[in-house]
Amino acid sequence: MKPAGEFKIANKLITGAGAIEKLRSEVERLGMKNPLIVTDTILQQVGVVATVEEKLQGMSYGIYNGVEPEPEVRLVEACAQAASRGNHDGLIAVGGGSAIDIAKVAAVLAKKPVEISSLFGTNLVAEKGLPVIAIPTTAGTGSEVTNIAILSDKAEQLKKGIVSDYLLPDVALVSPEMTLTMPPSVTAASGIDALVHAIEAYISIYATPITDALAIQAMKMIAVHLPKAYANPHHLAAREAMVTASLMAGMAFGNAGVGAVHALAYPLGGRYHIAHGVSNALLLPYVMEWNKIACMERFRDIAEALGEDTRGLSDADAADQAVAAMRRLCRMVDIPEGLRAFGIPEDAIPEMAEDASKITRLLKNNPRALKVKEIEAIYRSAY
């Protein structure tokens, strides 16, 4: 029997078509009189932020639009300063994982300034920050329901995590309409990112029956609906299925954890600024090849969730089908294959392997142990 555990999630979930209409009532319920919208300039240009502003009509609010992909520490500090200068009493994150992660940490710093470097790690945040409403505009990161924020440390060329229950958003407002402006490339990368979350949560050594149910259902929905959302950006039913699957995968990995795929992806983002979802997608088939021997029966479940018929197959053959199905889905949505496609020099692999080996927070969740030499071998197979 497993020991008693906790299941952590955003304090309130509002999901489905039209969910954005609940924004004003949630702002008022949380006592926000002067919230700060945290977003980027592209979402302003395409009108997504205007939809949020419309719901706040007649209220005082501000906008911080400095969010960038793969957010650096300096952006969190700038956002927190904007919140403090404007006397804002809550944050509304509008965007992908970058916007939501920045808002979650900035909410803490705006209430009580500290050095961000003192927060990297687990349970190092001293107290709850300003209230946060997370409105994802991508279907992939799951940040709207997790207690994790991932930031880029430019000096060390590495991504680092802040893990604390105080980072859990007060409200996750998940509305498919807010994802309609996603270009196909972002739809693909974020969708595969959600699939990585589901798969890694399912094979994590900390998986539970609750996280298993969420992860398997997320896989099933992504396998069916990601190609549809990729092919037709305005397919609202596919978009709704994808934001729901991303949410479920976020709930799964937020409690079971992710493993080696994420650990090996961190140096790609930190050193070469490859988008997080793309990094995960590039590495997943190769890490799956490494992991399958440790949990073949779980790989059979993954194959079936991805639509494969495993009847009459051994666990080993079913595990191979899971990897093959994952590769096909990546090709279907045009995920680039191979690290060399991004100009990564092959002689950088040993240093990347050393960096990845230090991400013990994630590697400890993996079903099969990895040392530096094995990590290096996986990078070389993915090259």
Note whether residue 231 is domain-resident: yes
Predicted confidence band of residue 272 (pLDDT cuts 50, 70, 90): confident
The verdict on 153 and 235 lying in the same domain is no
Average pLDDT, integer, range 3-12: 84
Q: Which residue has the higher pLDDT, 179 or 1?
A: 179
Residue at which a domain ends, from 126, 144, 179 = 179
Is residue 257 situated within a structural domain?
Answer: yes
Q: What is the domain range of residue 238?
A: 184-381
- Indicate the pLDDT class of residue 158, thresholds 50, 70 and 90: confident
**Are 173 and 192 within one domain?**
no
Residues 283 and 369 in one domain: yes
Give the model's pLDDT for residue 334.
93
What's residue 3's pLDDT?
Answer: 66
**270 phi and psi, to 5 degrees?**
-70, -40
| pLDDT in the model for residue 153 | 79
374, 293 Cβ separation under 8 angstroms: no
My answer on whether 227 and 347 are in the same domain is yes
Number of Cβ atoms within 10 Å of the Cβ of 65:
19
Q: Pick from 179, 196, 224: which residue ends a domain?
A: 179
Give residue 143's pLDDT: 95
* Residue 46, in any domain of the structure: yes
Is 262 part of any domain? yes
Residue 248: inside a domain, yes or no? yes
Where do we find the tokens 């961000």? Answer: 116
For residues 233 and 127, is the Cβ–Cβ distance under 8 A?
A: no
How far apart, in Å, are the Cα atoms of 91 and each of 37, 109, 134, 156, 191? 6, 12, 8, 29, 26
Residue with the bigger pLDDT between 5 and 206: it is 206
pLDDT confidence of residue 6 = 83
Q: Please report which confidence band the pLDDT of residue 2 belongs to, taking 50, 70 and 90 as the band edges.
A: low
Q: Which CATH number characterizes residue 71's domain?
A: 3.40.50.1970
**Residue 352 sits in the same domain as residue 367:** yes
Given a cut of 90, is residue 270 above it in pLDDT?
no
Write the pLDDT tens digit of every residue in 14-41: 999 999 999 999 999 999 999 999 999 9
pLDDT value at residue 160: 87
Last residue of a domain, one of 179, 196, 220: 179
**Secondary structure of the chain in HEC code, one letter for each residue:** CCCCCCCCCCCCEEECCCHHHHHHHHHHHCCCCCCEEECEHHHHHCCHHHHHHHHCCCCCCEEECECCCCCEHHHHHHHHHHHHHCCCCCEEEEECHHHHHHHHHHHHHHHCCCCHHHCCEECCCCCCCCCEEEEECCCCCCHHHCCEEEEEECCCCEEEEEECHHHCCCEEEECHHHHCCCCHHHHHHHHHHHHHHHHHHHHCCCCCHHHHHHHHHHHHHHHHHHHHHHHCCCCHHHHHHHHHHHHHHHHHHHHHCCCHHHHHHHHHHHHHCCCHHHHHHHHHHHHHHHHHHHCHHHHHHHHHHCCCCCCCCCHHHHHHHHHHHHHHHHHHCCCCCCHHHHCCCHHHHHHHHHHHHCCHHHHCCCCCCCCHHHHHHHHHHCC
In this structure, are 226 and 144 located in the same domain? no
Same structural domain, 287 and 301: yes
Whether residue 6 lies inside any domain: the answer is no
Q: In this structure, are 370 and 223 located in the same domain?
A: yes
Confidence of residue 154 (pLDDT cuts 50, 70, 90): confident
116 and 53 co-located in one domain: yes
8 belongs to a structural domain: no
Q: How far apart are CA 41 and CA 148, in angstroms?
A: 24
Mean pLDDT to the nearest integer, 278-297: 93
pLDDT of residue 273: 84
Mean pLDDT for all residues in the chain: 94
Question: Are residues 216 and 345 located together in one domain of the fold?
Answer: yes
Tell me what the mean pLDDT of segment 88-102 comes to: 97
Q: Give yes or no for a contact between 198 and 219, defined as CB atoms under 8 angstroms apart.
A: yes
Predicted TM-score (pTM) of the model is 0.94
**Which of these ranges, 1-15, 168-182, 294-308, has the smallest mean pLDDT?**
1-15
Say if residue 26 is in the same domain as residue 86: yes
Whether 220 maps to a domain, the answer reads yes
Query: Which pLDDT does position 1 carry in this prediction?
Result: 61
Mean per-residue pLDDT, 55-62 = 97
The tally of domains found in the chain comes to 2
- Other CB atoms closer than 10 Å to residue 88's CB: what's the count? 25
Separation CA 372–CA 375 (nearest Å) = 5
Q: Are residues 330 and 369 in the same domain?
A: yes
CATH number of the domain to which 314 belongs: 1.20.1090.10
